[in-house]
Amino acid sequence: MEPKSCDTFVVLPPLTNHGVVFGKNSDRPQNEVQEVVYFPASDTSPNTIQCTYIEVEAGGPKKAVILSKPGWMWGAEMGANECGVAIGNEAVWTKDNEGNHDTSIKRLLGMDLVRLGLERGSTALEALDVITGLLEKYGQGGPCQLDGDLSYHNSFLIADTSEAWILETSGKHWAAVQITSGYRNISNGLTITTKIDKHSDGLIEYAKEKGLWNGDGEFNFAEAFGSSGQVGDSRQKSGEDLLKTLSASKDFKETDMFTILRNTDTDICRSCDSPFPTQGSQVSTLSAFRPSVHWFTATPDPSKSVFKPFVFTPNAVISKHTKCPEDEKSGEHTLYTLHKDSMKDEGNEMQKLLFAMEADCVKELDAIVESVGEDLSELDELLKDCVETEVKFYR
C-alpha cells in the first residue's frame, strides 16, 4: 500500500509582507527519528560524494545548509541554505517503473537530491538545475526507509526569496513549473498538467513511445505519468483550501504556516500513533531584505511540538541535542527522547508553556530581524539556545 505522507507549501507576495514563506511536514515511518543538523560552507570537497546508496561527482564548494533528515540517511527531507533557498520533497507514484525508471534499484534518493540541491544551488532555479542534472545522470531509486523496501519517484518544492519551482519526476524524466506569486502546495500526486516551464529533453517523445500519451490534444504531464487515484489528492486539496483562507488577508506569516502544519482534521498533521506520523516540520521565511528565518520542530507531531528558529550567520552553532548518535542508525537524539516522554503527561501544562514561549519568540525575533544590521553575531546561537531551553523544560 502506498503511504500517505508529507505536504509542502509555499506562499509568495503579494500575499505576504516579508518575502516567501515555505513550509513542510515530513511524514515518515513510525519510530524513525528525524534530526536537525547544520553543515557550514566548505570551499573544498573530495572528488566524489557518498550519498545514501551511491557516489556522485563533487560539485565544487558547498553552501552552508541546515537540514531536517532521518538519522540513518545521508539525504534530507527538507532544509535550507545560506543563500535563502529552501527545498522539500514528496513521494509520488507513476505508471513508469521499468528499466532505468525502476525505483527499487539503489540510485539517488529524492532526499539525497534535496541535500545536493541545497549544497550547490544559490537560487531556486540553480537548485532545480542541480537536481535535474543529477537525476538525468544517476537516476533515482532505492529503499526509502531503514527497514523495508518502500521506494518511489519524487516531487519537489524549491523556493527562494523571489520565486518557487514545482518539480515533478518519473524516473529520469521531469517537468517543472515556475511560481512567482500566490500560493502552491504539493502532496503525493502529480500536479503539473499542461503548463510546463521546463522539462527533460525528449519527455514528450518518451511518453508517446511508452504509450503514456497518444499525441492527441495538449500534453498533460500528470495525466500521462500519474497513477490512477493518486495518493494525496484529497490532502492536497485540503491544504490548498487552508492556504486560500489564511492568505486572504495578504499578510501571510510564519505563524499561519505553523497553523497549516498543525492541522489534524485534514491529516496534514499526523500523530505519533499514525502508520506514517509527522516526524519533523520546517517553516522558512525567505527574504531578500532582512535575514531569512528557518523554524524547525526537530520532534514529531507539530500540534504537540514547538517551532524553534535558526538564522544563518558566519559563526552559527546549533545544539547537540537535535543530532542522532552517529553509531546508532535508529538512535534517538536527546530532544526527541525528552519530548516523547513529556507527551505521556495528561493535560501537559508544560506544552502550554512551550507554546507561549514559541509565540514570544516569534514576536521578539521579528523585531530583531527587522532592525538588525550587518552584524548577526547575536543570532549565532539562536537555535541552540531555544533547543536547550526546551530541554531544560523537560528535565
The CA distance from 277 to 297, in Å, is 14
The grid coordinates of residue 208 equal 508517446
* Amino acid letter, residue 181: S
Contact partners, residue 163, CB within 8 Å, separation at least 6: 12, 20, 124, 125, 178, 179, 180
Is 6 designated active site?
yes
Calculate the dihedral angle through the C-alpha atoms of 205, 206, 210, 213, rounding to the nearest 10 degrees: -50
Catalytic residue among 6, 51, 144, 324: 6
246 contact partners, CB below 8 Å, separation of at least 6: 252, 256, 259, 260
Q: E strand or H helix at 49, and its extent? A: strand 48-50
Report d(CA 144, CA 154) in Å as an integer: 11
Quickly list DSSP for 81-136. ETTS-EEEEEEE-BS--SGGG-TTS-SB-HHHHHHHHHHH-SSHHHHHHHHHHHHH
Q: Across the strands, what pairs with 156?
A: 89, 167
Give the active site residues. Answer: 6
